[in-house]
Amino acid sequence: MDAVVVGAGPNGLAAAATLVRAGRSVHIIEAADEIGGGTRTAELTVPGLLHDLCSAVHPFGVASPLFADLPLADHGLQWCHAPLDVAHPLDGGRAGLLAQSLADTAQAMGEDGTRWISTFGPLSQRAPELASEILGPIVHIPRHPEALARFAPVALRSAAAVARRWRTPEVRGLYAGVAAHIYRPLGQPLTGSAGAMFFAMGHHYGWPVARGGSRAITDALASYAMAGGATIETGREVSDLADMPAHRVALFDVGPRAFARIAGNRLPGRVRRAYERYRYGPGAFKVDLAVEGGLPWSNPEVARAGTVHLGGTFEEVAASEAMIQRGAMPHRPFVLVAQQYVADPTRSVGDTHPVWAYAHVPAGWTGDATEAILDQIERFAPGTRERIVGMAVLSTTDLSRHNPNYVGGDVATGANDPLQLLFRPRVGLHPYDTGIAGTYLCSAATPPGAGVHGMGGYHAARRALAHLER
């Protein structure tokens, strides 16, 4: 066997696909009973209703240079777009709205539209170049310096500084909701990077969902890899390097602390210490709902959006993000909602629809955020509770049990603090190398970080291929 991949999340399977494409033999070992990691889809509430357990909406999946290069459509992956990408409702029925079209978005923004175009227009025009630059290690020789020169002034600043460009509460709120994907206090440097990336990719590629559920993404990667001869074993957790079948290279879709335990004293001391110091971020508390007739939003436009961010004004979102960072649970947390069925009606049964929602909560928080999430939804969609016919809840503890990579419920597999944004999982020129010859990390703890794009797996596989060719 040329390669063993441990973990069948999108990065592990992307690594396997990259190795198979290069003609290598690959065996994949997955701890869970099914593949997919953070892209699994299941009937959690009403029979037939398809709920995404973790990832839901994929602006980086559709922008991924690797996914675009692989024939994933031939293996069942189909992207579906909602009429609007994102809505950010405010009290009183107002809402910030994001369409894939930059011009349509700006037009609806009134006085803020011109600055929206001047901020994100140059980035979205260069989205393909940007994707190849930023979906990988930060330290590299740029092939598109002009695209990076446009990106840096927005990305290096704090989200709070970038938000000063806009005046209306709707646009500032819309910006806050997307910027908050970084899971950091919005006044910190580099927190502008999430907004810069999401708006650049979103205005170019949109924010699609995968037809039939997010699992279609990893099912397609696995199908491609197996068509090239890869084999997959589920229900087997690798807890020691000694348990691995014979191999020439190994790639681990796991977090650095877990890998330090798996590798034990085979890991060079300096690498082990760096992995043990790796920092995790705040957690997620998730609620999946079955809703009769969909959510009754006060602003009907919100019903047309695939993604809805609930948290009120920029200042409110910033305050709740700062609180969770300090370990305190806000009364009104920032809540992300996905209405995948708006883009992909196959998720629903008749007029009963699956609604995906999670709140940002402190790391490892053990409380119950169900009511806080429902209150935030009711705030902008009064009457929601009467329409709920099924519900499933995943706490931070459930999430980390469901997937060992989500330590303390951290769905980003690591804190996006400034140092780890630039260098993860440790400071060095080769972030995928573990210091053990032929053994690599490829999870979202490596660049470019969280999200379903497979680029951590791709870059780690490139390192592994270089080792095999030596």
Ligand X SMILES: Cc1cc2nc3c(=O)[nH]c(=O)nc-3n(C[C@H](O)[C@H](O)[C@H](O)COP(=O)(O)OP(=O)(O)OC[C@H]3O[C@@H](n4cnc5c(N)ncnc54)[C@H](O)[C@@H]3O)c2cc1C
Binding residues for ligand X, rule: CB under 6 A, are: 6-12, 29-32, 37-39, 54-58, 60, 237-238, 253-254, 258, 284, 286, 358, 399, 403-406, 411, 413, 443-444, 450-452, 456
Strands 305-310 and 335-338 turn out to be: antiparallel
Crossing angle of helices 113-125 and 127-134, rounded to 10° = 70
Cis peptide bond N-terminal to 431, omega within 30: no
Q: Which tokens sit at 441?
A: 């990390």
Pick 107 or 234: Cβ nearer ligand X: 234
* List of long-range contacts for 267-274, beta carbons under 8 Å, 24+ apart: 267/434, 267/435, 267/436, 268/435, 268/436, 270/435, 271/426, 271/434, 271/435, 274/425, 274/426, 274/427
- Taking the complex as a whole, the smallest distance from the CB of residue 137 to ligand X amounts, in Å, to 15
Are 217 and 450 spatial neighbours (Cβ–Cβ below 8 Å)? Answer: no
Counts for the chain of helices (H) and strands (E), in that order: 20, 16
- Taking the complex as a whole, the smallest distance from the CB of residue 397 to ligand X amounts, in Å, to 13
**Exposure on the CB side of residue 311, measured as CA atoms within 13 A:** 32
Q: Among all chains, which residue has been given the structure tokens 């205005």?
A: 203
56 contact partners, CB below 8 Å, separation of at least 6: 209, 214, 307, 338, 340, 356
Instruction: Kindly tell me the burial class for residue 148, based on how many C-beta atoms sit within 10 Å of its own C-beta (0-12, 13-18, 19 or more).
Output: middle
Q: Please give the DSSP secondary-structure letter assigned to residue 94.
A: -
Pick 425 or 451: Cβ nearer ligand X: 451
- Taking the complex as a whole, the smallest distance from the CB of residue 57 to ligand X amounts, in Å, to 4
Smallest Cα–Cα separation from 425: which of 440, 408, 411, 404? 440
- The residue nearest ligand X at its CB is 9
Pick 219 or 253: Cβ nearer ligand X: 253
Q: What are phi and psi of 277, to 5 degrees?
A: -85, -5
Pick 54 or 77: Cβ nearer ligand X: 54
Pick 294 or 451: Cβ nearer ligand X: 451
Pick 84 or 258: Cβ nearer ligand X: 258
Pick 56 or 127: Cβ nearer ligand X: 56
- Taking the complex as a whole, the smallest distance from the CB of residue 113 to ligand X amounts, in Å, to 27
- Taking the complex as a whole, the smallest distance from the CB of residue 165 to ligand X amounts, in Å, to 26
* List of long-range contacts for 144-149, beta carbons under 8 Å, 24+ apart: 147/123
- Taking the complex as a whole, the smallest distance from the CB of residue 89 to ligand X amounts, in Å, to 19
CA 142 to chain centre: 24
- Taking the complex as a whole, the smallest distance from the CB of residue 444 to ligand X amounts, in Å, to 4
Pick 46 or 254: Cβ nearer ligand X: 254
Smallest Cα–Cα separation from 199: which of 155, 153, 259? 155
Kind and range of the H or E run holding 28? strand 26-29
DSSP codes of every residue in 113-135: HHHHHHHHHHHHHTHHHHHHHHS
- Taking the complex as a whole, the smallest distance from the CB of residue 435 to ligand X amounts, in Å, to 18
- Taking the complex as a whole, the smallest distance from the CB of residue 249 to ligand X amounts, in Å, to 17
- Taking the complex as a whole, the smallest distance from the CB of residue 460 to ligand X amounts, in Å, to 10
Pick 50 or 57: Cβ nearer ligand X: 57
Pick 296 or 454: Cβ nearer ligand X: 454
3 state DSSP class of 388: strand
